[in-house]
A and B are shown apart, each in its own frame.
Chain A
Amino acid sequence: MKQTDRIILDSIQFDLTIKRLAHQLIENHNNFSNTIIIGLQPRGTFLAERVVAELKAIDSSCNVQLGALDVTFHRDDYRRQGNPLVPNKTEMNFDIEEKNVILVDDVLFTGRTIRAGLDAMLAFGRPKKVELLVLINRRYERHLPIQANYIGKNVHTIVSERAKVTWAATDGEDKVILYTPEENE
C-alpha cells in the first residue's frame, strides 16, 4: 500500500456492511423462493457468494439460487482495446423467466459493466424484476442512467482514482481501498 491509498472499508466495517445488505435483501424478498442472485464475473461473484452465505447464516432454511454471469461477449469496448477480452465462466443452471433477479457487482462506476450484464442476463429468459446490489457506489462518473437498489457504501472519487475490493478468501483480507494507479497501470 502506498501513502496516497485510503482504506474506505476495513475488515470489520466490511463484515458489517455485508450483514446489512443481507438484511435489506431479506426485508424485500422474504424467503427468496422466487429470487435469484447473480454475481457478475469476475469479482461480483465473490460478493454474491458472501451475501448468500450471510443469508443462510441468518436463516438456514433460505435456499436462494446463485448464478455467475460473464459479460465479456456483451461488452461495448471489445475491439476498442488492443487485445481480445478474456472471458470467464458463466454458470447459470436455471431459467430466470418470471423470477426476481438481483445482479451483484463489487464496484458501480460508469455503469457499462452493468449494462452488459443486463444484456447478457436476458439470454436466459425474461425476469419479472431486476435489482442491483453493489458494495461500492462511486458517484459522479456514471456514463449510463443506471443506479443500484442496494449499496454497501457511497464514495466520492475523482476519475483517476480506482476502488479495489480485496477478499479474505483470495487476497488475504476483506477490505476496500481507494488508490491512484501509476501511469502505466
Chain B
Amino acid sequence: MSKLSVNHLLGIRYLTPEDINLIFETADHFKEVINRPIKKVPSLRDITIANLFFENSTRTKLSFEIAEKRLSADIINFSSSNSSVTKGETLIDTVNNILSMKVDMVVMRHPNPGAADFLSKHVDAKIVNAGDGAHEHPTQALLDAFSIREKYGDLKGKNVVIVGDILHSRVALSNIFCLKKLGANVKVCGPLTLMPKHINSLGVEVITDLKEALNWCDVAMMLRIQLERQDMKFFPSLREYSMLYGLDKSLLDSLDKEITIMHPGPINRGVEITSDVADSKQSIILNQVENGVAIRMAVLYLLAGKQN
C-alpha cells in the first residue's frame, strides 16, 4: 500500500492501522533525511502551506514549520492573537481568504473540538489537525507511538499507561486510539475527577494508584495538568496532586523493572514529573521531539502526494 485512506489528517480515529504503519515507514526515511549534512529535500517545492494557530503552541508550531521547510514547501504563518479574528471574522471567512492566496494545505490548531473536521467539509484544501480543543492531536499520538516503536520494535502487547489530566487532554485521546489500533494495552491513571465519564467505552481501564500503574506498564506517558482548560477545581491543590501522581526518582527506583518515560510537553517540572526523572536515561522526551519532525514530514508528504 502506498497511499493513505484519508484526504485530511483530522484525527487518529479515522486512520486504519495500515495508514499508521505507512506513516511510520515513510517517517523512517525522513528521519534519515533530517540526519544528513543537508537536511532538505525538494519534494513539496510546489506546495504552499498555511499554519493557522488559533491557540498557543511552541513545539507543535516549530515542529510543523521545520518539517515544511525540510520538504521545501512555501509557508505562511498566522496566529489569532494579532489577526482579524479579533475583529469578528468567522473561521470559514478567515480560511477562505487565506486560500484565495493559492494555499494547498492548512495546518490548524484551534481551541474548539471539531474545528478541523468542520473546516475540511467547507474549504478546498488538505487539512492537518494540529490539535482541536480537548478532542484530538493526531501528529502527537503518531510521534509518541513512533518513539515507542523505535525503542521496542513493535507496539503489539506493550503496556502503556497515560498518567494525569485525561479529561482535558487531546493527547490522551489520540494516543488511546493510536496505541489500541497498533495492538498495545492501554490504561489511564489519575484522580477520578480528571477521568472522562465514558472512558471505559474506549476499552481502557482506570487505575487510581500510580505505583500499581507503573509496575504494570512498559511505558509511562506523563501529562501536564491543563489548568487553562479547567473551569472548576478538580483536586484540592497542585501540591497534593504532585504528591499522589507526580513521578519522582525514588518512586521510579522502587519499581520492579525499568520503564520508559514519555511526556508530550510542555513539562511542569516538579508537578507531574521531577527534573531528575525528566532528564534521566529512561526518559525519551527529546527523542519524541526529534521524531515529531520526521512524522510531520511523512504526514505532509503522503497527504500532498495523494490526488483526490
Binding site for B on A (CB under 8 A): 70, 72-74, 78-79, 81-90, 92, 95, 119-120, 122-125
Interfacial residues of chain B within 170-196, with CB under 8 A of chain A in the complex: none
Quick check: A89 and B29 within 8 Å, CB to CB? yes
Quick check: A84 and B37 within 8 Å, CB to CB? no
Interchain CA distance A78-B304 in the complex, whole Å: 9
Q: Which residue from A81, A82, A87, A123 sits with its C-beta under 8 Å from B38?
A: A123
Interchain CA distance A85-B307 in the complex, whole Å: 12
User: Chain B interface: which size bin?
Assistant: 20 to 34
Quick check: A78 and B37 within 8 Å, CB to CB? no
Minimum CB–CB distance for A74 against chain B, Å:
6
Quick check: A84 and B306 within 8 Å, CB to CB? yes
Minimum CB–CB distance for B31 against chain A, Å:
11
Quick check: B42 and A84 within 8 Å, CB to CB? no
Check if B43 is an interface residue, CB within 8 A of chain A.
yes
A79, A81, A125, most chain B CB atoms within 10 A: A79
Interchain CA distance A28-B305 in the complex, whole Å: 42
Interchain CA distance A125-B36 in the complex, whole Å: 10
Interfacial residues of chain B within 255-308, with CB under 8 A of chain A in the complex: 301-302, 304-307
Quick check: B37 and A124 within 8 Å, CB to CB? yes
Quick check: A119 and B38 within 8 Å, CB to CB? no
For B42, the chain A residues whose CB sits under 8 A away are 73-74, 119
For B47, the chain A residues whose CB sits under 8 A away are 79
Binding site for A on B (CB under 8 A): 2-3, 26, 29, 32-33, 36-43, 46-47, 301-302, 304-307
For A124, the chain B residues whose CB sits under 8 A away are 36-38
Interchain CA distance A74-B305 in the complex, whole Å: 13
Q: Which residue from A74, A79, A95 sits with its C-beta under 8 Å from B41?
A: A74
- The binding surface of chain A is classed by DSSP as loop
Interchain residue pairs A-B with the least CB separation, the first 7: A84-B305, A73-B41, A123-B38, A87-B29, A83-B3, A86-B2, A73-B43
Q: A70-B29, A86-B2 are in contact. Are A79 and B38 (CB under 8 A)?
A: no
Interchain CA distance A103-B221 in the complex, whole Å: 46
Interchain CA distance A70-B39 in the complex, whole Å: 14
For B301, the chain A residues whose CB sits under 8 A away are 73, 84
21 CB < 8 A contacts A-B = A70-B29, A73-B33, A73-B41, A73-B301, A74-B42, A74-B43, A79-B305, A79-B307, A82-B307, A83-B2, A83-B306, A84-B26, A84-B305, A85-B305, A86-B2, A89-B32, A90-B32, A123-B40, A124-B36, A124-B38, A125-B37
For A74, the chain B residues whose CB sits under 8 A away are 41-43
Interchain CA distance A68-B185 in the complex, whole Å: 38
Minimum CB–CB distance for B45 against chain A, Å:
9
Quick check: B46 and A79 within 8 Å, CB to CB? yes
Q: A73-B42, A74-B42 are in contact. Are A123 and B305 (CB under 8 A)?
A: no
Interchain CA distance A90-B36 in the complex, whole Å: 11
For A85, the chain B residues whose CB sits under 8 A away are 2, 305
Not counting A84-B3, A85-B305, A90-B33, a sample of 7 additional A-B residue pairs whose C-beta atoms are within 8 angstroms of each other reads: A74-B41, A78-B305, A83-B305, A89-B32, A90-B32, A120-B41, A124-B38
Quick check: A95 and B307 within 8 Å, CB to CB? no
Interchain CA distance A180-B39 in the complex, whole Å: 40
A74, A87, A89, A125, most chain B CB atoms within 10 A: A87
**Can you name the residue of chain B whose Cβ is closest to the Cβ of A90?**
B32
**Can you name the residue of chain A whose Cβ is closest to the Cβ of B70?**
A73
For B2, the chain A residues whose CB sits under 8 A away are 83-86
Quick check: A123 and B29 within 8 Å, CB to CB? no
Quick check: A84 and B46 within 8 Å, CB to CB? no
